[in-house]
Homo-oligomer: A and B are copies of this chain.
Amino acid sequence: MEANREKYAADLSSIKEAHDRIKPYIHRTPVLTSESLNSISGRSLFFKCECFQKGGAFKFRGACNAVLSLDAEQAAKGVVTHSSGNHAAALSLAAKIQGIPAYIVVPKGAPKCKVDNVIRYGGKVIWSEATMSSREEVASKVLQETGSVLIHPYNDGRIISGQGTIALELLEQIQEIDAIVVPISGGGLISGVALAAKSIKPSIRIIAAEPKGADDAAQSKVAGKIITLPVTNTIADGLRASLGGLTWPVVRDLVDDVVTLEDCEIIEAMKMCYEILKVSVEPSGAIGLAAVLSNSFRNNPSWRDCKNIGIVLSGGNVDLGSLWDSFKRSK
């Protein structure tokens, strides 16, 4: 694993550097356990609560690392990104801490609470259409006009290194973990976690959790190349992105399995997070618990030996109104 930085966009040392850089700004999030959920799942579950991270999601780690990695001249011109949600708010917050502008291209239809967070943290919202091409077009226009730096939500070594700091903390907090279940979307989070965790503890298993309605990672693993979906359909609004050129090699090589989940399974897990764990998570945040409780995971003999499972609760930004509607729909 020593030569990972040549092979991949991040490695254990870039992740440790990121941790040193961002430590004064981030929350070292707690790990919660629940005997009720242990008994339901038949394992010992360790929930790394990134919903308590600043900005309400793990995204602040990567955004903060990216912003702090800029030199003074670059930084002064500000940063830009296109994001439907948590990365946008995280980048706004990281920019605010450094006193630099953040230009956020937000696709129409993004969850209100996430856009509110962008505005609360002082990000300048620029609307685009919901399509990826419109997002990219508007972002590149902003780039040209402002001279700012693009911080991609996941296809960026600084972002991947930042997200990997979760695994550093989790393995310090709970040494005996033998698998980590991580939501997958663009792959920044799982790439960072996999690179850090497998460098520290090579025997550890990394399992991705993905909505069935946005299962491009599962399909990519089968095809052996990046598959992008023409449309996605899932309640987990944070998990609709496609893998990038920097995250795919890590997902291809280091992710041991992709478990895909129906929206109803995600909602059921989300409900358990509220009612049993007492943690407010968004649908994307609860998918790791849904994976561990799914039949495909339970019945897979490869994971029978995984007794101590880390689960990344990735975020908690949810409109209580939409949350309640989804609970009602699921009945």
Contacts and interface: CB of A to CB of B under 8 A. Distances in A.
27 contacts: A27-B33, A30-B30, A30-B32, A32-B52, A35-B54, A36-B120, A49-B278, A51-B278, A52-B277, A52-B278, A113-B275, A271-B320, A274-B280, A274-B320, A275-B280, A275-B320, A277-B280, A278-B279, A278-B280, A278-B281, A278-B316, A279-B279, A279-B280, A280-B280, A320-B324, A320-B327, A324-B324
A30 B47 CA distance: 13
A56 interface: yes
Interface residues of A, number: 25
Interchain residue pairs A-B with the least CB separation, the first 9: A278-B316, A30-B30, A278-B280, A51-B278, A324-B324, A274-B280, A32-B52, A52-B278, A280-B280
A181 to B, nearest CB: 19
Interface string A49-62: 10110101000000
A288 to B, nearest CB: 16
Contacts of A280: 274-275, 277-280
Counting every copy of the chain, the complex holds 2
A279 B316 CA distance: 9
A324 B33 CA distance: 26
Interface string A297-330: 0000000000000000000100010001001000
Chain A interface mostly:
helix
A56 B278 contact: yes
A120 B327 CA distance: 23
A277 B277 CA distance: 14
Nearest to A278: B316
Interface in A21-58: 27, 30, 32-33, 35-36, 49, 51-52, 54, 56
Contacts of A320: 271, 274-275, 324, 327
A56 B120 CA distance: 32
A310 to B, nearest CB: 16
A324 to B, nearest CB: 5
Interface in A255-288: 271, 274-275, 277-281
Contacts of A56: 278
Given A51-B278, A52-B278, 8 more contacts: A30-B32, A32-B52, A274-B320, A275-B280, A278-B316, A279-B280, A320-B324, A320-B327
A153 to B, nearest CB: 21
Contacts of A275: 113, 280, 320
Interface string A192-224: 000000000000000000000000000000000
A56 B36 CA distance: 11
Nearest to A53: B278
Interface in A119-153: 120
Contacts of A120: 36
A61 B290 CA distance: 31
Contacts of A27: 33
Nearest to A31: B30
A282 to B, nearest CB: 9
